[in-house]
Amino acid sequence: MSSRVTLGSDEGSTASPSTSTVEAKGDAAAALGPSLSPSSESLMTISKKAVSGIESCVYGSSLILNDRHVDQLEGALPQVYQANDWRLLFRMSRDGANMTSLLHRCREKKQSLLIVKDNKGAIFGALVTSPLKAANDKYFGSGTNCVFSFKSGTLEWFPSSHKNTYFLNISPTKALGIGGGGAFALKVDEDLNNGSSGPCETFSSPCLASGEEFTVSELEVYAFSIGRA
């Protein structure tokens, strides 16, 4: 049973609107669904199904995702993140194309959803279940991290393969890297303009982007309001 929810603003800005199923790799729950519009930044209205009787909202209109994308992502998320509000923390075109700005705006958030659109239109990203913070070129994080891609036209979701622990590596002066063993599942350089993605042992994932080297068109990070009433 679906319901319509009117949303407020994101963190650091105000926001605005624009609705299917998921073919996910890994644990995927039933699909839900919202509404986003890639234009203005005011109020947004989103249609979602209720999970366990709880409705979730997305605060901050996306310049990357449409209804179908959010519907499929919400359905694939681990249950603990379902039926929680999403709040836009960072948008590259709004907050600046540099790692320092991204880390500052996402500081102290324990879980986040990083979403990238490359210059050839591929949409992909990662569920990160550790705070985004500099780690002096050391890997950290947990096996609850996942990566995903819409390159095939529908959501492909890749949880940890448990083959290694190369979950997250962040250096503000070098890059943000997710996964390892073979290649990064997703890496973006310190200026956020360029990145790479290749076959990755950490998630048993293929290249997520339009090519193994890509140019970033837009990058967004959302946080979850876990445990809201």
The per-residue pLDDT for 107 is: 86
For residues 134-140, average pLDDT: 81
Query: With left for phi above 0 and alpha for psi between -120 and 50, is residue 182 left, alpha or beta?
Result: left
The per-residue pLDDT for 22 is: 39
Indicate the helix (H) or strand (E) that contains 157: strand 156-159
* H-helix segments, 44-107: 67-76, 92-95, 99-105
3-state SS, residue 59: strand
Closest by alpha carbon to 82, among 107, 39, 37, 113? Answer: 113
Higher pLDDT, 207 or 49: 207
Higher pLDDT, 127 or 225: 127
pTM, rounded to two decimals: 0.76
State both tokens at 204: 């048993």
The per-residue pLDDT for 61 is: 80
Asked if pLDDT for residue 71 goes beyond 50, the answer is: yes
Question: Tokens 């979730």 correspond to what residue?
Answer: 56
Which residues is 189 bridged to in the sheet?
175
Q: End-to-end distance of the chain based on CA atoms, in angstroms?
A: 20
The per-residue pLDDT for 226 is: 63
Q: Rounded to whole angstroms, how far apart are CA atoms 98 and 123? A: 20
The per-residue pLDDT for 114 is: 97
The per-residue pLDDT for 124 is: 98
Question: Tokens 């990070």 correspond to what residue?
Answer: 221
The per-residue pLDDT for 81 is: 87
Asked if pLDDT for residue 177 goes beyond 90, the answer is: yes
Domain boundaries of the chain, sorted by first residue = 2-224
For residues 108-135, average pLDDT: 93
Question: Tokens 């986040």 correspond to what residue?
Answer: 112
Question: Tokens 């002096």 correspond to what residue?
Answer: 136
The per-residue pLDDT for 56 is: 55
For residues 180-208, average pLDDT: 97
Per cent of the chain over pLDDT 70 is 72
Q: Rounded to whole angstroms, how far apart are CA atoms 110 and 223? A: 8
Mean of per-residue pLDDT scores for the chain? 78
